[in-house]
Amino acid sequence: MRMIPALFLLLAFFVQGYTVLAADASAKADEFAEINKLISGFGPNLKADSIKPVSLPPLYEVVLGADVFYVTKDGRYMLQGDVVDLRERVNLTEETRAKGRLQLVNGIDERSMIVFAPEETKHVVTVFTDIDCPYCRKMHDEMAAYNRLGIEIRYMAFPRAGIGSESFHKAVAAWCANDRQAAMTAAKAGQRVKKEKADCEDPVAEHLSMVKTLGLTGTPALILENGTLIPGYVPAERLLGIIEESKMN
């Protein structure tokens, strides 16, 4: 008879333990419910294989020009990638990159650029261009259309083949011409352009250095007035739409 209370006590212990485990499992399910809901919204039948907390100290944002990364205060951990506000649908890291790009581009003397400006400038786009790039040439063919829409195009040199290449020398010739605009147009049309100023201190190598700082990899590379990077050729009407939308955000 004395064993009965002990048996009940043991049974009560197991029941209590099971209840705690069940409650813990339920709590974890609730804890990750929002994450699972988020993942399921990425696509049909998507389910996380694993979700677990990561023990990391607070992260600090580090900006180097247009590069953005995150480190812990003790310098032990570094995180590379974009931080996105999923509720507001905003890429916070890209916003910081854009500010960095804008600061770098605004620090460049416009006199080192080849500028095609309309009668009334409404928008300014800085374009890193390669004279031999087919899409750069296609973009240049639409210069009148860009200008007609009030878009000023400011060219910077990005001969992708690098210093000393044929594209590099073509860019130098265009920048060292008495009429830079005419020389650029002729070069992009496939015409041979000679370097007219023997003592010209061209900015092509300096522009290439900026290309590396900005992390650009292709041409044309368009940077809007808010620092947004648009890779590749964009027709005039579409570019205007992108610019106007960027100014609304």
Residues 71 and 28 in one domain: no
Q: Is the domain of 241 the same as that of 121?
A: yes
Cα separations (Å) of 206 from 44, 60, 97, 129, 239? 49, 31, 21, 14, 27
**In this structure, what DSSP letter does residue 190 have?**
T
* Domain identity same for 233 and 149: yes
List 97, 101, 132, 136, catalytic entry: 136
Sequential pLDDT tens for the chain (249 residues): 344 444 333 333 333 443 333 444 445 556 788 778 778 777 888 888 888 888 888 999 999 888 999 999 999 999 999 999 988 889 999 999 999 999 999 999 999 999 999 999 999 999 999 999 999 999 999 999 999 999 999 999 999 999 999 999 999 999 999 999 999 999 999 999 988 777 888 999 999 999 999 999 999 999 999 999 999 999 999 999 999 998 877
Active-site residue flag, 180:
no
Candidates 101, 130, 137, 176; catalytic one: 130
Out of 97, 101, 132, 133, the active site residue is: 133
- Kindly state whether residues 242 and 133 are assigned to the same domain: yes
Determine which one of 101, 137, 154, 160 is catalytic.
160
Task: Tell me the three state secondary structure of residue 128.
Answer: strand
CATH number at residue 192: 3.40.30.10
Residues 68 and 123 occupy one common structural domain:
no
Q: How far apart are CA 174 and CA 187, in angstroms?
A: 7
Number of separate domains in the chain: 3
- DSSP readout, 37-72? HHHHTTSTT---S-------PPEEEEEETTEEEEEE
Q: Could you confirm whether 136 is annotated as catalytic?
A: yes
- Claim to verify: residue 83 and residue 10 sit in the same structural domain: no
User: Which structural domain range is residue 64 located in?
Assistant: 59-97
Domain assignment present for residue 66? The answer is yes
d(CA 161, CA 159): 6
Summarize pLDDT for 124-169 with one digit per residue, the tens: 999 999 999 999 999 999 999 999 999 999 999 999 999 999 999 9
Whether 180 is in a domain gets the answer: yes
94-118 confidence digits (pLDDT tens): 999 999 999 999 999 999 999 999 9
